[in-house]
Amino acid sequence: MNASLNEKLRTVKWGNFKYKDIFNNIRQGRRLKKEDQEKGDIPFVMAGTTNNGVVGCVSNPVASFPQNSITIDIFGNTFYRDYAFGAGDDTGVYWNDMVAYSPKTMLFFAAAMQKSLQGKFSYGKKLRSSQSDDFVMSLPVTSTGDIDFGFLDSFIAELEAERIAELSAYLTVSGLDNYELSKEEEKSLEAYSTYAWGTFNLKALYGKSTRGKRLKSEDRIPGTLPFVTAGEAEEGVSAFIGNDVEVFEKNTTTIDMFGSAKYRNYRYGGDDHVAIVHTEKVPMKAAIFVTSSCHKAAHTGKFDYGHNFYAKDADALDIMLPTKDGKPDYHAMELLISAIQKLVIKDVVRFSNQKIAATKEVTK
């Protein structure tokens, strides 16, 4: 966030407001087991941060919650929803059908609620919406002590414009603003179903995997090195440290204790719940493909708190890869990832361009 926006937050007056004074509807979702979920077009929200908690789209006759709502799961993870959805019993839903809060105001509410809940809930102490009526969030206020809705909306608008500009600059610098498929990329997609596949052992391909070393939270010194632990939040990066730890190179793959694999395009440290697969010498986009194959092979539900995935499990892991002459076809992998990347980024680039055009129109 730039200095002017930070300054606005520092200088504005603040007041405390109970959740029940903001929302006239505070409800808990209903349980729907994974095995009972039927595919459909209703987004279904459960606890977690992956995909903002949306585990899939269902057709079950679930309770439908309205768009322009906020969800908070049992761990305190908070998300704004601009669409109608269903929710599981591990998720609370907050909205007001008597007051027309703007989407930007609701986004500010969500951020304020997330901040008020930070670090208070976990597996041992789960949040239920019925407990939250008297929870308090801090919001900007006018001289009369009322919520300053004008400030909320303008602040979110400025923040959005700043983020869109940053996104546009990143897309341009990284070359991702070009989403037109090359002839070779088109052919790779068309030929995908005809590829020859082979089974390869990770240790045989990339050598012995490395296990990170434990570093307690209280022993971590603030710094600039990303420190990777198990989990999905922030892609497993739990802190930025200045400790003297083993540094792993970029273009490698981490697999955490649950078998969740992630590609790293930066140097980092890792704790003892992370195994590092040394794909440094593999072309970048091919390494991303390898990471996906690792995730598919390891993240099967076999590993959990009672049965952790370790480096020895990575060494024994077999993955499926496209082949040519009996060896991994890294060129084919690069083309496939490049094509998929462009298909995925296409809508992001269009969204960025539309937002920038709209912002320019408003500021004329």
322 and 352 part of one domain: no
103 and 200 part of one domain: no
Distance CA 308, CA 215 (A): 18
pLDDT tens digit sequence for 242-294: 999 999 999 999 999 999 999 999 999 999 999 999 999 999 999 999 999 99
Higher-confidence residue: 207 or 158? 207
323 and 351 part of one domain: no
| Whether residue 230 has pLDDT greater than 70 | yes
122 and 173 part of one domain: no
Q: Which residues of 307-337 are buried (b: 16+ CB within 10 A; e: fewer)?
A: ebbbbebbbebebebbbeeeebbbebbbbbb
Q: Looking at the domain assignment, is residue 10 inside a domain?
A: no
pLDDT tens digit sequence for 82-110: 999 999 999 999 999 999 999 999 999 99
23 and 95 part of one domain: yes
218 and 124 part of one domain: no
| Whether residue 9 has pLDDT greater than 80 | yes
Report the pLDDT value the prediction gives residue 14, as an integer from 0 to 100.
95
Q: Looking at the domain assignment, is residue 184 inside a domain?
A: no
Residue with tokens 């414009």: 161
| Whether residue 51 has pLDDT greater than 50 | yes
Q: Looking at the domain assignment, is residue 349 inside a domain?
A: yes
Distance CA 180, CA 191 (A): 18
Cβ pair 230, 256 in contact under 8 A: yes
Residue-number span of the structural domain to which 135 is assigned: 15-140
Q: Looking at the domain assignment, is residue 309 inside a domain?
A: yes
Q: Looking at the domain assignment, is residue 357 inside a domain?
A: yes
Distance CA 188, CA 332 (A): 7
Mean pLDDT computed over 289-310: 91
Q: Looking at the domain assignment, is residue 32 inside a domain?
A: yes
pLDDT level of residue 357 (50, 70, 90 thresholds) = low
Report the pLDDT value the prediction gives residue 363, as an integer from 0 to 100.
45
Mean pLDDT computed over 166-182: 77
| Whether residue 362 has pLDDT greater than 60 | no
Report the pLDDT value the prediction gives residue 364, as an integer from 0 to 100.
46
| Whether residue 161 has pLDDT greater than 50 | yes
CATH code of residue 283: 3.90.220.20
Cβ pair 70, 94 in contact under 8 A: yes
Helix axes 330-363, 284-298, angle to 10 degrees: 100
Report the pLDDT value the prediction gives residue 113, as an integer from 0 to 100.
95
Pairing of strands 318-324, 197-201: antiparallel
> What percent of the chain stands above pLDDT 70?
95
Mean pLDDT computed over 31-36: 85
32 and 135 part of one domain: yes
Number of structural domains (the chain) is 3
Flag the least confident range among 39-43, 169-173, 290-294: 169-173
324 and 206 part of one domain: yes
pLDDT tens digit sequence for 110-120: 999 999 998 88
| Whether residue 2 has pLDDT greater than 70 | no
36 and 103 part of one domain: yes
Of 191, 219, 152, 147, the C-alpha closest to 333 is: 191
* Amino acid found at 190: E
Q: Looking at the domain assignment, is residue 119 inside a domain?
A: yes
211 and 306 part of one domain: yes
118 and 172 part of one domain: no
Cβ pair 113, 22 in contact under 8 A: no
Q: Looking at the domain assignment, is residue 342 inside a domain?
A: yes
Pairing of strands 39-45, 69-73: unpaired
pLDDT level of residue 3 (50, 70, 90 thresholds) = low
200 and 323 part of one domain: yes
| Whether residue 360 has pLDDT greater than 70 | no
Output the six-digit token pair for 344: 């995925």
